[in-house]
Amino acid sequence: MRRALELDPLSLIINTNVAWCYYFARRYDEAIGQFQKTLEMDLNYALAHSRLGDTYVQKGMYREAISELRKAASLSPHSTEILAHLGYAYGISGNREEAGKILEKLLGDSTKLYVSQYDLAIVFLALGQKVKAFDHLERAWEERASYLTIMNVDPWFDGLHSEPRFKALLAKL
């Protein structure tokens, strides 16, 4: 990613992905700095706002996380992924009511359009509903959800690594 950034320093996606690598390495301050640098290039880049929000969640900076995720959702109003990330932030921060509203919307939307089972799983996880989260992760495997490939390094799932269902799912992957 650093080499890609050298070759194309103005690419929003490359700048965002550099920050995402820091996020997965749990180098959250560096990730935040890189996301902010990306947003200096384009304040309306929803993906950078979304991933910055995810990073703030991992630092326990819930007010900032929700603000960034709401901004991302306003910039990309049809993104069920960003909405799920916002639901996760609400749930993990203790605002179960807002997380529940988002979960209901996502479940309702899933009858009309594609909503990744992975995204549903993270909202259930933030609400402390591990069994339902695992049920949706297994459905995500059945639908071949691409984000499962990062599940083992995604901080959202750090607390599940010792769970038998998590290990079984990783073995299937």
- pLDDT at position 126: 97
Alpha helices for 25-79 (secondary structure H): 28-41, 46-58, 62-75
**Mean pLDDT score of the chain:** 97
Residue 18's identity, in one-letter code, is: V
pLDDT confidence bin for 49, thresholds 50/70/90? very high
pLDDT 10s digits, 98-156: 999 999 999 999 999 999 999 999 999 999 999 999 999 999 999 999 999 999 999 99
pLDDT 10s digits, 54-113: 999 999 999 999 999 999 999 999 999 999 999 999 999 999 999 999 999 999 999 999
- pLDDT at position 133: 97
Of residues 61, 118, 63, 43, the one with CA closest to residue 85: 118
- pLDDT at position 55: 98
Report the distance separating Cα 112 and Cα 145, nearest Å.
18
Instruction: Answer yes or no: are the C-beta atoms of 68 and 49 closer than 8 Å.
Output: yes
In the chain, what is the greatest distance between 2 CA atoms, to the nearest angstrom?
A: 45
- pLDDT at position 46: 98
pLDDT confidence bin for 15, thresholds 50/70/90? very high
Phi and psi angles of residue 92, each rounded to the nearest 5 degrees, phi first? -70, -25
Query: Is the entire prediction scored with pTM above 0.85?
Result: yes
Report the distance separating Cα 33 and Cα 140, nearest Å.
32
CB within 8 Å of 102: residues ≥ 6 apart: 83, 84, 86, 87, 90, 123
- pLDDT at position 86: 98
